[in-house]
Structure 1
Amino acid sequence: MKNIKRRLLAFGLWLITFSVRAQTQVTAPMTGTPTAGSYFSYSGITLSPNFSFTATAGSSLSLYIANPDCQQLANSFNQNQNYIVTSVPRVGNMKNVGSTPNSGDFINRTTCELMQTVQYFDGLGRPLQTVQVQGSPLSKDVVQAFAYDQFGREVQKYLPYVTAGSNDGSYKANALSGGQNQFYTAPPTGVATTTSPFAITNFEPSPLNRILEQGAAGADWQPVANSTTGHTQKAVYTTNNVTALTDTANTMLAALYTVTINANQSRTLARNGNYGAGQLYVTIGKDENWKSGRGGTTEEYKDKEGHVVLKRTFNYTGTTLQILSTYYVYDDLGNLAFVLAPRALADIALPSTVLLNNLCYQYRYDERNRLTQKKIPGKGWEFTVYNKLDQPVLGQDSLQRQSNQWTVTKYDALGRVIMTGLWNAGSVYPLSTLQTNIYGVTQWDTRDQTNNTTSYPSGYVLGSYPVITKTLNINYYDDYNIPNLPVGYLVTSGVSAMTKGLLTASLTAVLNTITNATPDMLWDVNYYDDKGRNIWSYKQHYLGGTVNAANFDVVLSTYNFNDQVTSTNRRHFTTATAGTPKLTIINQYSYDHMGRKLTTREQIQNGTQAADVNAILSKVDYNELGQVWKKHLHSTDSTTFKQDVTYGYNERGWLLTSSAPLFAEALYYNTGTSKQYNGNIAYQYWGTPGSLTKNYAYGYDQLNRLTAATASTGNHENGITYDMIGNITALNRYSNSTLIDQLTYTYPTGSSQLQAVTDATASDVGQKHGTAGYTYDGNGNLISDNSKGISNIAYNLLNLPQAIAGKSTFYTYDATGQKLSRLIGTAKTDYIEGIQYDGTASSSTISFIQTEEGRALPKDASTYNYEYSLTDHLGNSRVNFDTGTGTTRQVQVDDYYAFGMEINTSVASPKNEYLYNKKELQENLGLYDYGARFYDPVIGRWTSVDPLVEAGQESTTPYGYVFNNPIRLTDPNGKAPCCGGFSDDIDLVTGIAHAYLSDVTTGNLSPAQYGNSLVGGFGEKVGHIVAFGQGLSEIGSGGTGAVGGVLGAPESLGASLVIEAPSIALIGHGAWTSKNAVVGLLGGNGVLNASSGQPTSDQTSNKEPNGNSLSSQKEQHGYSVRDKKTDEIKEFGISGQTAKRDATGVFKSSPRISQKLSTKYKGNSSVYGKFETWLKNRAEAVQWEKDQVTDYNNKNGQAPENQKRPKP
């Protein structure tokens, strides 16, 4: 006994987190003399009085307190079942796999060291169960069960559940006979109770197996037998008719438009009557709110070639059914030539030239079917010229055309963008002349570290046409032999030399200085480890408005084995600190055994002062399904927190409650008198727990557009009406039941650009009374608004405001669109990746540092006051509290009207201006800065055209805010409406769909970025697992259709679902899917980003999704490879390599087509690549590719001959 006491005292009981291996767990007091070896407990070890042990040579005893999250991994796989085990190491040095899942280096591991998933199959190779061994937060098995009808269809998809019994990966025989149902009947804390934990699919009784009705989890979303009254998504398949449009209840009349290609590549639109009856395939979609008739339905019309030629939606204005038709018109080569928006009234007659130019989309192509000219509503014509490799070299928007200026992009031999800039052409050149000039010289440029021949030292030999007049951006790849790279940014040790193919450095111009003889350029330098992870980066900033090598930030990042960021160290240098960091910010992140983020820590140090407290910004608890249950905010002792936020969900994963002592919110969907079943919010209550005294009741039209927000406080917005494409035409606003705004909107004939807003009240609260006029420039940007006293706005190349006359406001941006500074009179604000300075042009100090949960404000020379934002479901800041006094102090309260105007604000500290959607309010303008454009919450409109309006938003106004549903949706960056701030409620399904869809399509998936996401990572892993099982099933049986994702695709956000027929899975696709799933699991993909959505600084950022990640919002393009003689399609493809906008906003494609022709087709002159369409993001691109292949298969009886994936 004395010996063991001495051992324990000497090692201080080793109370550390320890990787338990080849150990025995202690669950009761240890008595007698134990066998030599290692013993552990997750809580504590008690030694009884009669305990004794004497160590001898080769015989020792070790006692450890182990990490409670790292349970001993148990597995007992059923030998009488077909199964495959996937083992994913979470630590290194597992080299000996062994012959069984429990042998080699996999033996006696913990859940923190090894993640195992087992999938069981039936005799036909179909998945029966997927079990994530000890995958829940409490280390219980997570089970996904599958079942099939007599035709092999998955008619009932079950929600995953967590076992109550064995947690060893064994087959759960009672999964569907009681296990899953028992779990949801009496679920663990934080999980919704439901009697219907499944989604039922009703198929068409035909060999096509098309989906007729799709239910969802929950009693209210179950199909009703022999009835259309259930709250499900429904589909009807039919053909068009020739019934007159006046018969609104029955007409499916479709106008027939044709296009003539003119000699100059322009297109002429003509109407040739109507399509004959039965000439178009029609799919009718009805969402969960549909009751009867056509209101709230969508119709999609396809011709025999699979082209979507018409989309229709229906809405009631009073008792009149309004038919809203969007036509898609193609030329003889299959290129989309025109999109006719509903307000063009193309059902009735050929749109006039005015309507075409102001409301419709027009596209022109060259002889190689490359898009060369386009015109979208609100903007003038835009032009693109290509090189021989089909890479866009020149781009020009309508404003540049006035000054004969072009934006130039240059490439290296690998198709990588090496430089962008401006070329002042001096005169107007025909596109054909420019094309000839480009073709007549070298098509790519090469590295030369000694070359300094351009306006800025480039490091390239530039032989391509034309010569850049002003450089916007230079990119360097592969190495660090770069001209004029600041010596202080060079790192020679501790980084990898394996940098081939990686972006090593870049120079970016400050746009406000491009008229200077030499524009200001800012450096970014990236260093990597041997796994290609960015571990060391330098970023030069623009504090003070001048370029200085001493102004920079350096960020050092560390990762765990699965590529999750574990720490960042950001050091902020300025010219005033003479080589000593002015500021050091250290962030640390911890994860559980499944990679779910648990804690975020932050510590700030001012200069050489003592470091401030190492504070826990947030600690997250998950329910057993991986949804965020609680978030604990601010602790300095790891035990006591200032606020605990508790979340609740319904059976569909939609957020129901968010409750903290200072702010609580409750959302109602399918309850009350105005029930919403499709995800729209019917009622919102808020206040404090137990006292939700304030509420909004919301009303919508059949297009899910907000028509009324009636508040218990009397702060209403109602009487909201829209035109045919969603431009607001009227809005009434009340303050404490008093009418303060009675707005009427006026638009020019055939235009979405606002001409005037008239406020019929005498109040100047909100909109100024009287009539306010608005004007726009050739790119569709607002340039004057006399209601705000703005006489002129000058914009930069990116259509971002640079100078605002009447407000003495000036903005500075770099060529990537990052805002560097703002000047209002003499008051200046500098923005440096989350560090915000305020003062004057000559003197400023740090105002605050943005954190994942709010901001940190300087308190004194060495300490900071952490301020936290409690948000609602949209991410709106509602209550701010600080911790500077040691207690929780409420410092700001904000409420909003439905479209985002502030109702009232109570401020007890420097005001937090990051308010609605966590975007910065420009107080002097009354506008919110979303990044890509500004938003006016008073009139509910953007100030500029939507940069991604072509990506599926053609039927709506390019100035409308989030499809006019601001209660449900947000816009993360001003480019496209998205899932809303309540992403926690769908992240489980989003994560599943993200990984699953990637595996079954591209296989390219980077760490998911969900903004507010706290649970997506868990879904990612389930998605990979489900996809892996599907792939194996396809290998074994040739497939049975859609047999994957337990929760299917992400929940539809307001749009009616048009359900496609299930695809026929093939053996080759099965192998591909399984491989991708394993790669996804092994790569640690699906890393969640547990943040509140607050804009964060560099030290908190994870990897940006690449263009091929399903989560990527990077613009994509679709293309086809075709036979030159017959135009027969060889294959479809998608790419996001360089699918982005240049400095003028013109779309940029990638070199993918030319790469494929030169590699896969080995330069075969009998085929060519055809650009098909631009796509908003990777998810849309993946769906587009799938649709093309399916349509081709339906027409030809097989997929294109060289199509490897996706299969139809």
Structure 2
Amino acid sequence: MKTICYTFLSLILLFVEVNAQTDIRLVSHSAPVVTSTGSITLQDGFSVPSGSSFHAYITNTTTEITPSQHKPYILSFVSRKAGVWGSSIPNPGVYDMNANIQYMDALGRIDQEIAIKGSASLTDVITPHVYSLSGREETTYLPYPEYLGYSSVVYAPGSYRGAADNSQEYTYSNPPSGMSSSYAFSYYPFARSRYENSPLNRERERAFDGASWQSGGQTIKIDDDIKNVTDTVKSLKVSISPVTGVRSIVYGDNVWIGFGLLVKIVKDENWISEMGLAGTSREYSNLYGQVLLKRMYYKDGTAIKAASTYYVYDDFGNLCYVMPPKFEPTLSSVTNSTLLNELCFQYKYDSRQRVIEKKIPGKDWEYVIYNKLDQAVATQDANQRITNKWLCTKYDALGRVIITGIKTISKTRLEFQAEVNSQSIEWENRDYNSTTIGYSSVTYPSTLDSYLSIDYYDDYNLPGGNPYPDALSNGISKGLLTGSKVNVLGTTNMLWAVQYYDNEGRISKSYKQHYKGGLVNTGNYDEVTNTYDFTGSLLSSDRRHKVAATEALRILMEHEYNEKGQLTKTWETLNTTKVLLSKLEYDQLGKMQWKKLHSTDGGSSTFLSKTKYWFLDRGWLRSLESASFTTELYYDHVGNISQNEYHSARANGKFNYTYDNLNRLTNANYFKFQNGGAVDDSRLDETITYDKNGNIITLNRGGSGNGLMSYNYQNSSLSNKLSTVTKNGSAFRTYTYDSNGNSLTNGVSKTIDYNILNLPSAVKTSGTGAVISTYIYSAAGEKLRNTGSDGTRDYINGIVYRNNILDLIQTPEGKAIPNGSSFQFIYDLKDHLGNTRVSIDKGPSNDTARVVQADEYYAFGLHAPAFDGANNNKYLYNGKEKQIDLENQYDYGARFYDPVIGRWNVVDKLADNPNQFSKSPYAYTWNNPINLTDPDGNCPDCPDFDDPLGNGMSIVENQAYSIRDATSSATVTILSYLGNFATKGGIPVMKMEFTYGEAGRKQRIVPLEGNKDAGVLLAALDMTRLIPAGGVEGGLLSKSNLPKSAAIETVNKVVHGNSKESLLETTLYRLETYLGEYLKMGVTSKAVPEKRYSKKFMEGKRMVPVDRGVRINMLLKERKIVEVDPGPLNFEPWAGSKKLKFN
């Protein structure tokens, strides 16, 4: 995305005048976008060539800006149009640039923010900031749009608004005529926080926007305390034998009494004093910031129970065990290997603190092999171990993945690791003479049994020749993926993909081979041409679907955006059938207000469906209203939906929902509407109970053929894996699992085979083994083909063939099905979860909507058809495809979900994400299916720690490449780079705690004080080997592969001030509290010793000089003292550290 931003400080007196009106007359098509502040006239003969796009805008005003001069401000422009820069800044049109201004108070704090002409009616949008006498921003205001004529004071655009907080409250509580009806009326359009009366500025209470939270006392309450004797916290740590290396858990029953455990207590918005502990959570951590226990209290019947998750570390600070609530550590359970393997997350590390083995509950052990660059070069799961297969990964010199594949290696993990350690080269290079793989084969293993993927970068000189050459190859390609081959699992076939870029690095054209008919043919491919606007938003995507080198289908998608870059219109052309699929309209603050589907008059006023969106103060969806489907939602104070009422021509009903204190759904009570009222009807009822991990114990479902299902789990119920399910006391389903935790049966009469992605490859009849259905996937996890009882389907990126005949084309709003030489568009109206509730099309005799299907669902997704007019839509619950041969399980991509039992049958790939440690890896949406969805079959809400920037690299990898690039010249070294970073470019962090995962390694960094960036610092240690060796300051003396903790020792010590050989005069000091409590010994060569630490760290502490002299002498004296009395703080400042060592 290209975004040009200009910022002006108030040192410049700025006044922007309105542009003179301009009129434009066009004779021929010369530009895709034309704007004018006056008029645009298309002369006779004007035409737009086929395949091109044309957009005309009337920018009725320019962005007139008059900043107030009595306050300091920062004025920023973001360009939205090419050529708008430099001298054009003073008078941009509203479609050309977005302007924002920040006013500061006398202390440099943000006083007011204004999005100039940021509302839908092109008036300013103002966000006030107000501070208490202690300097805290205790009230956070929602932005509000200004309405001309609403106030007696007329403000110029961008000028400072006096008493903006009062204006904001008045605007929300007395909305003027014309204010969007979707906008939430509120007497409390702000959030408030209460802080403790101390310099620590710790938040004690938080009330969100809205009367329900502000006036009723429904707030989040927070407290920090020291653990007291009434708390039961088990003392758990890992001991590693120095002789055998065998790990054991050292158990202590509540020995933390009297010790310095910190506890954070949180009471949610539903909590009231009568609930006692129910609805509260406690998080215990030690003085090093390591979380030892997370405990949540909930009510089960009349009893209050605790769901406790323990975190167990070794002496190096590595997380070795996570014990979920169902485990409940005792002296006997922590030594029970069967119980540990069934329920606990387990991690083992090598000497470089890398995760080399891990075990997820439900799965057997997984292994990881690393090279000297800490890159994971091989992994093996439990199923692969049976046949000695390893998934191998190869990298290029820049650390990019280039090859993945399978290799059979009959070695133990230690033997395999030794082989990798002995290799002298860590990456492969391009081999332009190769006609097959295209890379060298120097890293272990040199060859693979089968290849899963091969990626090519930088150029289009592909092995065997570029299968899809294009004239657009003159764009940039350095550093970008240019071509790739991906395996069709179960075969030796590889599918090509080639992509070309424009000069901004955006994909301008791509070619992707498909697998129609189960055949690999270079004539079977999709060619996609993309165009973008200046900001990088996609304007058009022209897809030409080729079969045997002949165009079988053309899909042209075109998009329009408003002045703020929000999507407004989506056009789709199928061959020659063009339809305005959707038109989106937004309210004054940019929230979606209307979605209009299928224009019958070019988008003027007539549509098949118009859906109005209503929202609450907190931004939660309140209702969707259309002629064909309406739903209205009600919430409890924590945000769980308590009631859902819906109406359509074919289905009318209401659900009331209740939850336990862990936000798990316990009851869904259904009511049907008849004779003008809601009548209790158990047809779609569900009542659910759970164990402490969230595994369902009972599910009582209403309706014909249903009843009470009881769930029995393996290992005497001390497992997450199902054994049997009974219904109304009779046998209903039986389950067995493979070593990866995949269910080998559907529970009834079928067995399931899995591929290496743990996705189904075949469904068979139990006993005979007769194949009922097969699935073919690419190695990237894309479903290519399914053959089953209802025919063979080929899936080609939204194009679906059935028995080799075009069946449907998925659209952003539903599907299009062939209708002679044209297409019939069917639109799916969905609820807040993305469930298809009503499907409509255009009636045959008029332009009104015709209902072709209506659907209802139980709370956990079991389908309850209301009406099907031969539409036979299979994309239903959450919009996922129903699998007929698997008893109507839903395909989410990463896993298949079974709504009959309300569980997944495969372990979550993100099971050990920190957000999921306390939950069963088979639980669907954390047992809250009314509020959450699993979009792709993985965790409902798990941030991607491995790819925070969305570029395929972890935070450490991103920083590492930045360092390598910055220190590649002779004049910039690692030390000067870090020194510059610390003084000029550092991220100011007073206290930071961050967990990242990279190449299978988990590392935790805990409180860092001062102006530091943990990612850069660790990256520096990792990346020293990439800096050219040399004898200059900061250069490397060698590139020996040392353990991570010693990596920095490769830096030239001759001039390094922290080297033991340094001649700098060094102070040996004692760090203690002002009360004289001894904390640690240390050394520093700083002229002012106190600058060794940040001011915040030194609060309440002092440094007492003990001696001063040559550094090596001071280090030796420090060592003698520390060996006798190290002090509680004599550790390195991160959780993966060891006690200070001396060489």
Give 1:731's aligned residue.
699
2:637 is the alignment partner of 1:663 = no
Question: How far off its partner does 1:20 sit?
Answer: 5.6
Pick closer, same or farther for the CA change 1:281–1:215 going to 2, 3 Å.
Answer: same
Structure number, greater radius of gyration? 2
Residue number in structure 1 paired with 2:585: 621
Are 2:1026 and 1:1158 equivalent residues in the alignment?
yes
Kept after mapping to 2: 8 A contact 1:685/1:692: no
Which residue, out of 585, 595, 598, partners 2:555? 585
Instruction: Mark the CA change 1:16 to 1:813 in structure 2 (over 3 Å): closer, same or farther.
Output: closer
Matches of 1:628 and 1:446 in 2, distance apart?
Answer: 50
Opposite residue 943 of structure 1, the aligned amino acid is N
Q: Secondary structure at the match of 1:192?
A: coil
Aligned equivalent of 1:231: 218
Q: Please say if residues 717 and 731 of structure 1, whose CA atoms lie closer than 8 Å, have aligned partners that are also in contact.
A: no
- Alignment pair present for 1:484 and 2:464: yes
- Other-structure match for 2:448: 468
Secondary structure at the aligned position of 1:562 is classed as: coil
| Structure 1 pair 379–264 and aligned structure 2 pair: CA distance change class (3 A) | farther
2:645 maps to 1:685: yes
Pairing 1:635–2:599 present? yes
* 2:267 equivalent to 1:267: no
**Where in structure 2 are the equivalents of 1:1158-1197 lying within 5 Å?**
1158-1159=1026-1027, 1169=1044
Residue in structure 1 matching 2:518, options 545, 551, 567: 545
Per-residue deviation, 1:825: 4.6
DSSP 3-state at the match of 2:383? helix
Deviation at 1:478? Answer: 0.5
Amino acid at match of 2:461: N
- Sort the Cα spacing of 1:503 and 1:331 in 2 relative to 1 into closer, same or farther, 3 A: same
Secondary structure class of the residue paired with 1:593: coil
User: Is residue 2:229 matched to residue 1:242?
Assistant: yes
Q: Which residue of 2 aligns with 1:316?
A: 299
Separation in structure 1 between the aligned mates of residue 1095 and residue 723 of structure 2, nearest angstrom = 45
Report the alpha carbon displacement of residue 430 of structure 1 after superposing the two structures with TM: 4.2
Which moved further from structure 2: 851-860 or 255-264?
255-264
Match of 1:1044 in 2: none
* Residues 401-420 of structure 1: CA deviation (Å, up to 9, x unaligned): 11111110001111111101
The one of 131, 136, 144 aligned to 1:153: 136
- 2:617 aligned residue: 651
Shift of 1:899: 0.1
Structure 1 residues 1007-1022: aligned runs within 5 Å: none
* Secondary structure class of the residue paired with 1:751: coil
What amino acid is the match of 1:596? Q
C-alpha separation between the residues in 2 aligned to 1:361 and 1:1190?
A: 39
The answer for unaligned runs of 5 or more in structure 2 is: 1-21, 43-54, 149-154, 673-680, 766-770, 950-954, 960-981, 1029-1033, 1047-1093, 1103-1128, 1135-1143
Structure 1 residue ranges without an equivalent (≥5): 1-6, 24-39, 45-64, 98-103, 244-250, 514-518, 606-610, 670-675, 762-768, 981-989, 996-1000, 1006-1065, 1074-1107, 1123-1127, 1136-1149, 1172-1188, 1204-1208
Cα separation, partners in 2 of 1:869 and 1:443, compared to 1, 3 Å: same
Contact kept in structure 2, 1:389 and 1:1151, CA below 8 Å: no
Normalised TM-score (structure 2): 0.78
Q: 1:271 to 1:1119 in 2, by over 3 A?
A: closer
Contact 2:124–2:157 (Cα < 8 Å) also in 1: yes
Determine the structure 2 residue equivalent to 1:220: 212
CA distance in 2 between partners of 1:701 and 1:398 (Å): 36
Instruction: Tell me: higher relative CO, structure 1 or 2? Use CA pairs within 8 A at least 6 residues apart.
Output: 1
Aligned position for 2:1088: none
Residues 700/912 of structure 1: CA separation in 2 closer, same or farther (3 Å cut): same
For residues 1070 and 366 of structure 1, do their structure 2 counterparts lie closer, same or farther at Cα, with a shift above 3 Å needed?
A: closer
**CA 1:726–1:1201 in structure 2 vs 1: closer, same or farther (change >3 Å)?**
closer
CA deviations over 1:969-1008 (Å, ceiling 9, x no partner)? 000000111499xxxxxxxxx9xxx99xxxxx99999xxx
Work out which of the residue numbers 508, 517, 540 in structure 1 matches 2:486.
508
SS in 2 for 1:811: strand
Partner AA of 1:415 in structure 2? G
Is 1:202 aligned to residue 202 of structure 2?
Answer: no
Say whether residues 1:795 and 2:754 are aligned partners.
yes
TM-score of the aligned structures, taking structure 1 as reference length: 0.74
What is the distance in 2 between the residues matched to 1:509 and 1:1170? 40
Cα displacement string for residues 1044-1100 of structure 1 (whole angstroms, at most 9, x for unaligned residues) = xxxxxxxxxxxxxxxxxxxxxx99679889xxxxxxxxxxxxxxxxxxxxxxxxxxx
- The CA deviation at 1:893 is 0.5
Q: CA deviation at 1:932?
A: 0.4
Residue in 2 that maps onto 1:903:
864
Please say if 1:602 is aligned against 2:572: yes
For 2:103, the aligned partner's letter is Y
Tell me, yes or no, if structure 1 residue 859 matches structure 2 residue 819. yes
Instruction: Give the counterpart of 1:920 among 864, 869, 881.
Output: 881
Check 1:264–1:741 CA distance in 2 against 1; reply closer, same or farther (3 A cut): farther
Percent identity over the alignment is: 37
What CA deviation, in whole Å up to 9, does each residue of 1:1099-1139 have, x standing for no partner? xxxxxxxxx9x9x99999764799xxxxx99963299xxxx
Deviations 1:121-178 (A, max 9, x none): 0111111111111111221111111111112110000000111244611111131132
* Whole-angstrom distance in 2 between the partners of 1:445 and 1:569: 36
Shift of 1:428: 3.4
Distance 2:1041 2:1001 in 1: 23
Using the alignment, how far apart are the partners of 1:564 and 1:927 within structure 2?
36
Distance 2:701 2:929 in 1: 15
SS of 1:182 mapped into structure 2: helix
Contact preservation (8 Å) 1:290, 1:296: yes
Quote the residue 2:257 is aligned against. Answer: 276
Distance in 2 of aligned mates of 1:346 and 1:653: 41
Task: Answer whether contact 2:342 2:720 (CA < 8 A) is retained.
Answer: yes
Contact 1:267 1:337 in 2 (8 A): no
Distance apart, 1:828 and its partner CA: 0.5
CA contact (8 A) 2:25 2:40 kept: no
Cα gap change, 1:1070 to 1:365, in 2 (>3 Å): closer
**Shift of the alpha carbon at 1:349?**
5.2
Correspondence for 2:412 among 429, 432, 437: 429
Question: Structure 2 vs 1, CA of residues 208 and 389 (structure 1 numbering), >3 Å: closer, same or farther?
Answer: same
Is the Cα contact below 8 Å between 1:970 and 1:979 reproduced in 2? no
Indicate if the aligned counterparts of 1:874 and 1:970 stay in contact, CA closer than 8 A: yes
Q: For residue 936 of structure 1, what is the aligned residue in structure 2?
A: 898
Counterpart pick for 2:763 among 800, 804, 828: 804
Give the match for residue 689 of structure 2: 721
Post-superposition CA distance 1:58-102 (Å, at most 9, x none): xxxxxxx9835653211111112101111111111234x2xxxxx
- Change beyond 3 A, Cα 1:363–1:1134: farther
Query: Residues of 2 paired with 1:917 and 1:1113: CA distance?
Result: 30
Provide the C-alpha distance between the structure 2 equivalents of 1:887 and 1:151, rounded to a whole number of angstroms: 61
Structure 1 residue 276: deviation in Å?
A: 2.7
Q: CA shift at 1:397, angstroms?
A: 0.5
Aligned mates of 1:847, 1:732 — CA distance in 2: 38
- Maintained 8 Å contact 2:169/2:187: no
Q: CA 1:418–1:1196 in structure 2 vs 1: closer, same or farther (change >3 Å)? A: farther
Matching residue within 917, 922, 929 for 1:959: 922
**Deviation digits for residues 232-285 of structure 1, max 9, x if unmatched?**
111111122333xxxxxxx34333333325656552222133323242111011
- The answer to whether the Cα contact below 8 Å between 1:449 and 1:460 also exists between their aligned partners in 2 is no
1:523 aligned partner: 496
**C-alpha distance in structure 1 between counterparts of 2:924 and 2:1021, whole Å:** 35
Q: CA deviation at 1:42?
A: 10
Aligned partner of 2:840 among 877, 881, 893: 881
Is the counterpart of residue 355 in structure 1 residue 321 in structure 2? no
Task: Go from structure 1 to structure 2 and tell me whether the alpha carbon gap of 1:433 and 1:1113 turns closer, same or farther (over 3 Å shift).
Answer: closer
Q: Matches of 1:365 and 1:9 in 2, distance apart? A: 69
C-alpha displacement of 1:723: 0.6
| Code of the aligned partner of 1:289 | N
Q: Deviations over 1:637-660 (max 9, x none)?
A: 222211000010111111011011
Change (3 A) 1:728 1:1152: farther
Paired residue for 2:393, among 409, 414, 422?
Answer: 409
C-alpha distance in 2, partners of 1:154/1:643? 44
